[in-house]
A and B are shown apart, each in its own frame.
Chain A
């Protein structure tokens, strides 16, 4: 695949505070790429640098082989769907979509055709004369997408575009965006802090934290093979346990030695072990590799979410079987349920559910609203 944008060693600081710290990233033609990370990780700044609204302090932005560090936004073949849509309130739907075409002095007839075609694509035919303020959030979102795509940009930047929509609408728009991206063949660079959204839409996910890229990969890679405790914790739920790699395919943690699929670590190297809650099998205590007491059970609809105390470390286990609070249970782990990561600065910071509650989890991942 052809590279369309290359970020080379980009750094950016605001008021002496580093926001981006040596970001390098290749973005390919026709790719749906998502920048994912918590508030303040630098994902929006990265997007704004690509859009031309911020200039990097260091490093280069290459667009189709050309360095565009100093090219102003209106001269870039890139368009943006803004977080709160930024539709022009003094113009109706038609004129909002026609805005970039009028700027280029496109002939009237062509404007009419193109705008109609765009409105049709976002399923807003018949809304042309409506004032944008009279539209619902979802409709405004569609106008914003039509307006950004009418110029046929090479790359579309989307800054948390679904953040303001309710859950159901959000799911629909995810599908629709993906469809639009496939049909138009335009590269989408999507910014979000919602890992589910990222997993379901993206070809490639870039996980960011503290101004650095933690991992780049396909959704399955990122989920199954997180590189460190931060990624493992941010993408889905994970139990992250201290372990020791005894030899290739042999790891010891929680007082037991397990078979695993990982190789290439030093003998007796300390490692982080990731076990996804859905990969744990519950068995009677006498058959368990590890045993523990269930301290709480939450019914989640499809499954139960149990917190299990195993030698003082609280594990999260998701199971479709009934479990009861206070029960003493055994668990087994298949080799492919165990993922080994090298120790990193994030070791020990994540993956322990001793203070877990769904509510707290939501509090610590607030809707980011306006991120710088």
Chain B
């Protein structure tokens, strides 16, 4: 009797899950298989590892600051640059986002709702429009320099620098850092903070020894959610970096536009593998050493 009911339950469960299974199969698994398939085939769809090797071995000459040229491994350089910019953006998001998330979590109920809305509003706007908006802000004759000029300060050059690219990335992915941290902090039991104070902790100590460690799951999911899209982002660097900081996402897009589907797929495949390994390590570290993981 009991078993039959359990089987029945499992049946219902599976039936309810079916649409999602079909969806994931069609729109997640199949495309991934296609990417892998393209990555390991040439234009006539016969097996080759050439695209993969090309990612690691392709070289080009880069003009250095002193005018001399240097031979570099093109795609590795681009990948490392993407990684570096993504890591910097993630850290900036974290440093800016954590205090805001903390303030939000401790604010009154009404203020919390307002702040969550304010954080989310930029996400309602198209990504391209947001990036164009930053162009007008950061340009040499843009809004920032206009304001500086009014105060008699000489214009600063931001557009076309790495800083501009980082500003763009931080702006775009900031909500993904704030919201997970906020949702963890908002749920934090106030009694734990009282207990810490009761046991001798001043304000800073409470933050360092109780609030921060308990919010680590939020910090880690925030970092993942910013790091991964910013590593594979494109367009931001083209528009805000004046195309000088070609990122791995731009490389994929470039190859795709140039109809090099197989090489584009190979870059995407390698990027995916690297991210997958990175996430697995992160997850392992989380479950192993961070509260709430076990």
Among residues of A, the one whose C-beta sits closest to the C-beta of B294 is A131
Interface of B is mostly: helix
How far is A131 from B293 in the complex, measured between Cα atoms in Å? 12
> Known contacts A74-B202, A103-B205, A131-B294; is A86 also within 8 Å of B194 by CB?
yes
Residues of B within 8 A of A73 (CB): 194, 197-198
Chain A's nearest CB lies how many Å from the CB of B294? 7
How far is A87 from B196 in the complex, measured between Cα atoms in Å? 9
A80 touches B198 (CB 8 A): yes
- Is B63 at the interface (CB under 8 A from chain A)? no
A86 touches B189 (CB 8 A): yes
Residues of A within 8 A of B210 (CB): 88
B199 touches A100 (CB 8 A): yes
Residues of B within 8 A of A185 (CB): none
The A-contacting residues of B in range 267-294, CB under 8 angstroms, are 291-292, 294
Interface residues as binary, B196-213 with A (CB distance below 8 Å gives 1, 0 otherwise): 111111100100011001
The B-contacting residues of A in range 80-119, CB under 8 angstroms, are 80, 82-84, 86-90, 99-100, 102-104
How far is A71 from B253 in the complex, measured between Cα atoms in Å? 62
A53 touches B200 (CB 8 A): no
Chain B's nearest CB lies how many Å from the CB of A55? 14
> Known contacts A103-B205, A131-B294; is A86 also within 8 Å of B191 by CB?
yes
Among residues of B, the one whose C-beta sits closest to the C-beta of A79 is B198
How far is A198 from B214 in the complex, measured between Cα atoms in Å? 36
Residues of B within 8 A of A104 (CB): 200
How far is A82 from B195 in the complex, measured between Cα atoms in Å? 8
- Is B29 at the interface (CB under 8 A from chain A)? no
- Is B30 at the interface (CB under 8 A from chain A)? no
A74 touches B291 (CB 8 A): no
Residues of B within 8 A of A126 (CB): none
B200 touches A151 (CB 8 A): yes
B291 touches A82 (CB 8 A): no
**Most B CB within 10 A of own CB, among A79, A87, A103:** A103
B200 touches A74 (CB 8 A): yes
How far is A72 from B205 in the complex, measured between Cα atoms in Å? 14
Partner of A84, one of B191, B198, B209, B213: B191
How far is A80 from B201 in the complex, measured between Cα atoms in Å? 14
Q: What number of B residues sit within 8 Å (CB to CB) of A?
A: 21
Chain B's nearest CB lies how many Å from the CB of A32? 20
Among residues of B, the one whose C-beta sits closest to the C-beta of A159 is B191
- Is A56 at the interface (CB under 8 A from chain B)? no
**Most B CB within 10 A of own CB, among A72, A84, A88:** A88
Partner of A89, one of B197, B201, B205, B291: B291
Residues of B within 8 A of A79 (CB): 198-199
- Is B192 at the interface (CB under 8 A from chain A)? yes
B197 touches A74 (CB 8 A): yes
Chain A's nearest CB lies how many Å from the CB of B204? 11
Interface residues as binary, B175-197 with A (CB distance below 8 Å gives 1, 0 otherwise): 00000000000000101101111
Residues of B within 8 A of A99 (CB): 196, 199, 209
How far is A90 from B292 in the complex, measured between Cα atoms in Å? 7
Residues of A within 8 A of B216 (CB): 90
Chain A's nearest CB lies how many Å from the CB of B134? 39
The A-contacting residues of B in range 154-186, CB under 8 angstroms, are none
**Most B CB within 10 A of own CB, among A84, A89, A131:** A89
The B-contacting residues of A in range 21-77, CB under 8 angstroms, are 51-53, 72-74
> Known contacts A88-B210, A89-B291, A131-B294; is A53 also within 8 Å of B199 by CB?
no
The B-contacting residues of A in range 152-206, CB under 8 angstroms, are none
B200 touches A103 (CB 8 A): yes
Chain A's nearest CB lies how many Å from the CB of B48? 50
Residues of A within 8 A of B192 (CB): 86, 88
Among residues of B, the one whose C-beta sits closest to the C-beta of A104 is B200
How far is A103 from B291 in the complex, measured between Cα atoms in Å? 20
Chain B's nearest CB lies how many Å from the CB of A184? 17
Residues of A within 8 A of B191 (CB): 82-84, 86
Chain B's nearest CB lies how many Å from the CB of A59? 22
A74 touches B201 (CB 8 A): yes
Chain A's nearest CB lies how many Å from the CB of B213? 5
Chain A's nearest CB lies how many Å from the CB of B108? 14
- Is A147 at the interface (CB under 8 A from chain B)? yes
What are 17 A-to-B residue pairs whose CB atoms are below 8 Å? Answer: A51-B198, A52-B198, A73-B197, A74-B201, A74-B202, A74-B205, A82-B191, A86-B192, A89-B214, A89-B292, A99-B196, A103-B201, A103-B209, A104-B200, A147-B199, A148-B198, A148-B199
16 additional contacts (CB under 8 A) given A74-B202, A90-B216, A90-B291: A52-B197, A52-B198, A72-B197, A72-B202, A73-B198, A74-B200, A74-B205, A86-B191, A88-B210, A89-B292, A90-B292, A99-B196, A100-B199, A100-B200, A103-B209, A131-B294
Q: Which residues of B contact A (CB under 8 A)?
A: 189, 191-192, 194-202, 205, 209-210, 213-214, 216, 291-292, 294
